[in-house]
Chain A
Amino acid sequence: MTQRLPLIIFALVMAVIPLVPGIPPFWIVLLDNIGLAALVAMGLVLLTGVGGLTSFGQAAFCGFGAYTTAVLTTAYGVSPWLTLPASLLVSGIAAVLLGLVTVRLSGHYLPLGTIAWGIGLFYLFSKLEFLGRNDGISGIPPLSIGSFRMLSPDTIYYAIWVAVLISALLTMNLLDSRTGRAIRALRRGHIAAEAFGVQTPRAKLLVFIYAAVLAGLSGWLYAHFQRAANPTPFGAQAGIEYLFIAVVGGAGYVWGGVLGAGIVVILKEVLQSYLPYIFGGQSQLETIVFGIMLVLLLQLAPQGVWPWLMSWLPFKPARKPPDTSVKLEHRERAPGTSPVLLHVEKARKQFGGVLAVNDVSFDVNAREIVALIGPNGAGKSTTFNLITGVLAATSGKIAVHGKEVANAPPQEVVKLGVSRTFQHVKLVPDMTVLENVAIGAHLRGNSGAISSMLRLDRADEAKLLAEAARQIARVGLSDQIDQLAGSLSLGQQRIVEIARALCVDPMLLLLDEPAAGLRHMEKQRLAALLRQLRDGGMSVLLVEHDMGFVMDLADRIVVLDFGTKIAEGTPAAIKRNPDVIKAYLGAAA
């Protein structure tokens, strides 16, 4: 309830504003515009700030929403309320089509692609006969309930702000869920998320559609607010402005979108009305100031205004600790017939002319700790990537429980009960330890986006968080559970990664240099934990440079050098192996 309190207060304040006697009608118009922009910006927050997909083309989706209702109501006489689902559907379908091409784009190709189709669609709107070309469509009927027609800015005000509040609520619900965590992990690259079963292309498409539908909603409201639609507000310039709004407010925060809309719309109004007095009657001066402010903002406060405001709050909104008594069912396990859990046979990986892994073969049996060691560049991490499906093997065979995985995607490998940590920590730094670890349990929940938005996922969610909290306790980080992952020391972050991997409920745990950055006592605790896991039935394959740690812990050791296996055996045998000594210390003088 306390979490909802600020929202309720905000809703009440917004509801009362038009009723205040003597409030200038012009202010209400401004608030309407703020609400419309906030809807689009909220979608952009999810898309750009949270999901890391920059779009300059959101205005085009407003266009789809606005033109759909404009055509249906004027040419076919359909009631405005009936066109709402049609508008959302058309924006959504447009997003699916554009998204299928666009979200696959990597890096900076994505924003450039959105600029291109944003401009293309703008020209399309302004050239098509049935959309009224450059003049657009006018005479759109107002929204009405019974005989009450929302003709004036202060009546449609409620429609707009109810839409904003509901959207904000749904968006926040979505972000605070299993799907939301997957979306929030996107910005940090896809490898970590995929290692825990997240279908990243699908998650990207989802946010793309979600943002487009919000923009379509804004367009639909806009058409009935202006009672007309023409191409200008749906062009590239508008698309840029929406992005600006999100960046100003704070692209990573739902309320940042609303705040940014307020700041930018009011600022624009002030600039438009006062700049001509200062500089004489030139038009477009506000774009100059706008542009300069955007550059300044990026230099001074790249995070936006919202997080800066929040840092002034005297209290921090606390989160209820998860109830760890809720049980999460174990994953179904493939019936273990053979004692060989992981079978690697002549695995080979070639990068151009470099042979990173050269016909390496080894097995990991059930209840066994195997260490993979070798000098830098020996191909240890590449072997890990081959096993987990991050890289496809050039040739060779890799099987988990007899099932071939050599060319399976990471999402399939993790389903077989193989989970991993990374040599370079891949946590989402602005998510808490609990949320990061819960990503590990992604495959053990099944709530989708819609049920998350409507809060129908709470039972499922409680189980996932309880499991995450249990694994955090198991690795001994309960005190840090609500801290941001980025604020922990590197050693602790490695431990968080182990907790996340444990959340998979794995049979085989792959640890890439887990002891790096740990203190002596922490290493001992880690070793004890790994032994305990083995005795509980899990197998561990680890890459590690700390020889004391490895020799003490491993049941068996595989030694790689320049991509080739040079030795395999018990720690005692490896210590005496002349080839190993030569690889590490060089040829005897």
Chain B
Amino acid sequence: MNTTIMLFLLQDGITNGAIYALLGLALVLVFAVTRVILIPQGEFVTYGALSYAMLATGQVPGTVRLAVAMGLVAFALDLFFARKALHAKLVMRSVALNIVFPFALLGLVYALVGPHTPIAVNIALALLIVAAIGLFLYRIAFQPIAHTSVLVLLIASVGCHLALQGLGLVFFGAEGLRGPALSGAAVTAGPLRFTGQSLAVYGLTVGFIVALWLFFGYTKTGKALRATAVNRLGARLVGIRTTLSGQIAFLLASVIGAISGILIVPITTLYYDTGFLIGLKGFIAAIIGGLVSYPLTAVAAIVVGIVEAFSSFYASNFKEVIVFTLILPVLVLRSLAAPQVEEEKD
């Protein structure tokens, strides 16, 4: 192996690792606030990427209709759970969020869609669609069982993943799609060539890490979100709106997922089920970070990306095997290091 190959592998690993880092961050965020281990994170990636790719070809992605349908279900749930204490303000808020917002989005998509729509508009539309889906997903699937154990939430999360992945096949078909690059710019440094795309990946990842770290460490809202995760009842007693916290977390996670998808879809062809594997690698990073630490997660994600790049060079057949077994020693170390505390389970 020479230095050039090594540098190429490193660059490749870091670019992929940065994407895993973004996803890992979203996973940590959702877990820290709602205790949900968000398996469907991968679907946010594919939905974002493929919606963007379809919009770029002038088609209306089916995801926007899913957003409308989920909004209707969420509205029905809101009404059902509040049936004993219906008041105008609550209904108005629910109508605005669950009915007006997705229908407006639907109208917007139909109005703006076309082969010559600017890239920025397409990106914005794709992000809005996935954000709506993320928001409603929490309302429909997780809010009713928010008080249950991590395990129940995890199984529900797997259920959401199955449903969303199946829907992905319906919306995008079995063939993969690629989207147009965000910018054609490129910088050359020695033997390496940095495309504008990969620079955007690095920039956004670092930006999100810093932003999340500041948000959760230094703002009142961020601290309220964390308090919700530790003790829902306690958080409610001191006036934190716990359902709102969950919605914010899911909103952020879905937007981050969609951004990651939009960032990679010009680089590689994405299929309806690619997101799951990408998401799982984000997971490995998140778990190495103990599902709590943002900087550690980011570092771990880069390591995962680099290990993957090198193992695909040396033992390409066993790339996935190596990446997924990487997690085991980490889990063992984490378990041994964790203090022996009694888990109160329900």
Contacts and interface: CB of A to CB of B under 8 A. Distances in A.
Given A112-B331, A113-B331, A298-B145, A287 B320 contact: no
Interface in A274-313: 282-295, 298-299, 302
Given A108-B150, A120-B325, A127-B321, A295 B163 contact: yes
Nearest to B341: A106
B159 A292 contact: yes
Contact of B332 (A52, A105, A244, A288): A105
A78 B116 CA distance: 66
Nearest to A280: B170
Contact of A291 (B161, B324, B342): B161
A287 B166 contact: yes
Given A101-B328, A127-B317, A127-B318, A282 B169 contact: yes
Interface string B57-101: 000000000000000000000000000000000000000000000
Interface in B9-35: none
Contacts of A56: 158
Nearest to A190: B342
Nearest to B286: A112
Interface string A178-195: 000000000111110000
A109 B342 contact: no
A238 B309 CA distance: 28
B155 A285 contact: no
A292 B163 contact: yes
A291 B155 contact: no
B155 A247 contact: yes
A288 B163 contact: yes
A113 B155 contact: no
Given A187-B345, A302-B152, 5 more contacts: A188-B345, A189-B342, A285-B170, A291-B160, A291-B166
A120 B162 CA distance: 20
Contact of A288 (B152, B156, B162, B328): B162
Interface string B140-166: 110011001011101110111111111
Interface in B162-176: 162-167, 169-170
Interface in A29-75: 52, 54, 56
Contact of B162 (A190, A191, A291): A291
The winner among B162, B163, B167, B332 for most chain A CB atoms within 10 A is: B162
B276 to A, nearest CB: 8
Interface of B: 37, 140-141, 144-145, 148, 150-152, 154-156, 158-167, 169-170, 280, 283-284, 287, 291, 317-318, 320-321, 324-325, 327-329, 331-332, 334-336, 338, 342-345
A270 interface: no
Tell me whether chain B's interface is mostly helix, strand or loop, or mixed: helix
A240 B334 contact: no
Contacts of A292: 159, 163
Nearest to A424: B344
B155 A116 contact: no
A243 B158 CA distance: 10
Nearest to A247: B155
A184 B155 CA distance: 21
Given A119-B320, A284-B166, A298-B156, A101 B331 contact: yes
A239 B176 CA distance: 26
B169 A283 contact: yes
Nearest to A188: B345
A293 B342 CA distance: 33
A292 B169 CA distance: 16
Nearest to B326: A116
Contacts of A286: 166
Contact of A109 (B161, B163, B287): B287
A158 interface: no
B155 A120 contact: no
A109 B280 contact: no
A123 interface: yes
B325 A116 contact: yes
A7 B159 CA distance: 33
Interface of A: 52, 54, 56, 101-102, 104-109, 111-113, 115-117, 119-120, 123-124, 127, 187-191, 240, 243-244, 247, 282-295, 298-299, 302
A299 B317 contact: no
Nearest to B291: A108
B338 A106 contact: yes
A286 B162 CA distance: 9
Contacts of B331: 101-102, 105, 109, 112-113, 116
Given A105-B332, A292-B159, A294-B156, A284 B169 contact: yes
Interface centre among A109, A247, A290 (most CB of B within 10 A): A109
B327 A113 contact: yes
B343 A120 contact: no
Given A106-B335, A288-B167, A295-B141, A189 B343 contact: yes
B305 to A, nearest CB: 17
Given A111-B151, A112-B37, A187-B345, A104 B164 contact: no
A486 to B, nearest CB: 11
Given A54-B151, A123-B318, A127-B317, A108 B328 contact: no
A290 B162 contact: yes
Nearest to B167: A288
A294 B159 CA distance: 5
A186 to B, nearest CB: 10
Contacts of A113: 327-328, 331
A299 B324 contact: no
Q: Which 7 A-B pairs have the closest CB atoms?
A: A291-B163, A294-B159, A291-B162, A288-B166, A120-B324, A287-B166, A123-B320
Contact of A112 (B140, B144, B283, B332): B283
A369 to B, nearest CB: 28
Interface centre among A102, A127, A293 (most CB of B within 10 A): A127
A111 B320 CA distance: 19
28 contacts: A54-B151, A54-B154, A54-B155, A108-B151, A109-B287, A112-B37, A112-B283, A113-B327, A113-B328, A116-B280, A116-B331, A119-B324, A120-B321, A124-B321, A189-B344, A240-B162, A287-B162, A288-B170, A290-B162, A291-B166, A292-B163, A293-B159, A295-B141, A295-B160, A298-B156, A299-B144, A299-B156, A302-B148
A398 B169 CA distance: 65
B306 to A, nearest CB: 18
B137 to A, nearest CB: 10
A299 B283 CA distance: 25
